[in-house]
């Protein structure tokens, strides 16, 4: 899906000197029609300044928390972001019987006490990432009952690759939905929007090694099957997987390896995993969130501001750095983990120029930065083309008129 932007439809944003007193941006949290639909009123214009501390990656944290279910003993994760998804995943682990202690941006998880394999339906509705537990539960405990994932409404995000991959590792997988008590049918089996996935090891003991080729290099499916295969009996070969250089896949593979897993294939689209009967708890530090980093970089560009941010891993946002540099932003690496992003006219000498983007898996342009980038492009000189190739419903924000009130 593609959408073109022409800045002639939108007036230029207000800017002030980077060295002058920054005007305040005012946020009014208005009464909420529902808890699921908060409204924020933002009064501008203003510029940004100062230093931003980037949180740990949410997209890396969720599969890492799920992976603790694979481990005997205690795992300790550092630098977890303080967001509701992390709290929801911790609640899911606790509901299964794991002991979870959170303190000072850290989380300690011991899953030796897990006594159930069915995830509470209401907990699963809160986050899509809760579905990650299906792989570890089947691999370690031989069975899992998990609701089909909820989460954000950005288009079709099927889990068929996860389920077909588990079948290739010796699991029996069914999709079921309980119907009203007065129905002549107890269960419906098929592709359901609000059903549950029932998975169990066909041999009654655990998963076995196998071969599976993903139709699409899905990050979520790769992570789910990597966790499952790490405890399967024998060798598993996964092909056409999300590249092991994909940041979140890298982080998970490193953690599982530290826990005792054997994973080979870094840098390729094939993974060879030799399952281990038992993995042991380990410790890891969550890397900085590349999407949060990119969002603040784009905020600096949109408001024509100059800001610092750390910690940052530049190689994980290199695609955005290239695009913003192409537009005219000045991006400097002050030390190993600190970036300075400036789009102020006094620094760059001219207004920002338009550019085109097409979303793709890493190292391509991140789909999670596409909406913010589109907002920036409405303020740039010239026309731009935005193409979304990952999610089919991630252009809805482009259907609303963006304007500045001066």
Q: Which residues are tagged catalytic? A: 152
Round to whole Å and give the CA distance between 219 and 224. Answer: 9
β-strand partners of 2: 387
Question: Using alpha carbons only, what angle is made at residue 265 by residues 263 and 269, rounded to the nearest 5 degrees?
Answer: 125
| Cα–Cα dist 203/170, whole Å | 8
Say how far residue 80 (Cα) sits from the centre of its chain: 13
Radius of gyration of the chain (CA): 23
Q: Is the peptide bond before 45 cis (omega within 30 degrees of 0)?
A: yes
Separation of alpha carbons 79 and 334, rounded Å = 22
For 228, phi then psi, to 5°, come to: -65, -45
Identify whether the C-beta of residue 69 lies closer than 8 Å to the C-beta of residue 111: yes
CA–CA separation, 289 and 273 (whole Å): 27
Residues 6+ apart with CB under 8 A from 16: 22, 23, 47
């Amino acid at each position: 899906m593609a959408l073109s932007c022409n800045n002639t439809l939108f007036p230029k944003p207000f800017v002030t000197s980077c060295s002058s007193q920054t005007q305040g941006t005012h946020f009014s949290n208005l009464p909420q029609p529902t808890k699921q639909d908060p409204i924020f009123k933002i009064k501008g214009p203003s510029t940004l300044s100062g230093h931003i501390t980037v949180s740990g990656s949410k997209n890396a944290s969720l599969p890492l928390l799920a992976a603790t279910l694979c481990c005997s003993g205690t795992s300790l994760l550092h630098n977890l972001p303080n967001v509701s998804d992390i709290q929801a995943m911790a609640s899911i682990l606790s509901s299964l019987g794991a002991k979870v202690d959170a303190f000072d941006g850290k989380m300690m998880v011991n899953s030796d006490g897990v006594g159930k394999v069915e995830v509470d339906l209401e907990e699963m509705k809160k986050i899509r990432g809760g579905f990650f537990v299906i792989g570890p539960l089947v691999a370690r405990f031989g069975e899992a009952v998990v609701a089909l994932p909820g989460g954000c409404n950005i288009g079709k995000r099927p889990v068929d690759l996860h389920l077909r991959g588990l079948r290739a590792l010796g699991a029996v997988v069914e999709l079921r939905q309980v119907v009203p008590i007065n129905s002549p049918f107890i269960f419906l089996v098929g592709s359901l929007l609000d059903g549950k996935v029932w998975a169990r090891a066909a041999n009654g003991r655990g998963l076995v090694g196998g071969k599976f080729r993903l139709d699409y290099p899905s990050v979520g499916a790769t992570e789910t099957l990597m966790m499952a295969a790490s405890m399967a009996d024998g060798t598993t070969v996964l092909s056409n997987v999300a590249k092991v250089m994909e940041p979140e896949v890298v982080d998970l593979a490193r953690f599982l390896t530290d826990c005792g897993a054997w994973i080979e294939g870094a840098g390729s689209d094939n993974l060879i995993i030799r399952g281990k009967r038992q993995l042991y708890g380990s410790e890891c530090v969550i890397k900085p969130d590349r999407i949060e980093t990119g969002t603040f970089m784009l905020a600096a560009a949109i408001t024509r501001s100059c800001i610092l941010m750390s910690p940052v891993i530049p190689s994980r946002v290199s695609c955005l750095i290239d695009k913003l540099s192409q537009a005219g932003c000045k991006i400097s690496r002050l030390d190993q983990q600190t970036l300075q992003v400036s789009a102020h006219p006094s620094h760059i000498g001219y207004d920002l120029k338009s550019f085109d983007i097409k979303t793709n898996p890493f190292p391509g342009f991140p789909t999670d930065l596409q909406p913010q980038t589109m907002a920036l492009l409405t303020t740039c000189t010239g026309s731009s083309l935005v193409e979304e190739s990952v999610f089919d419903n991630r252009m809805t924000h482009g259907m609303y008129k963006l304007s500045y009130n001066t």
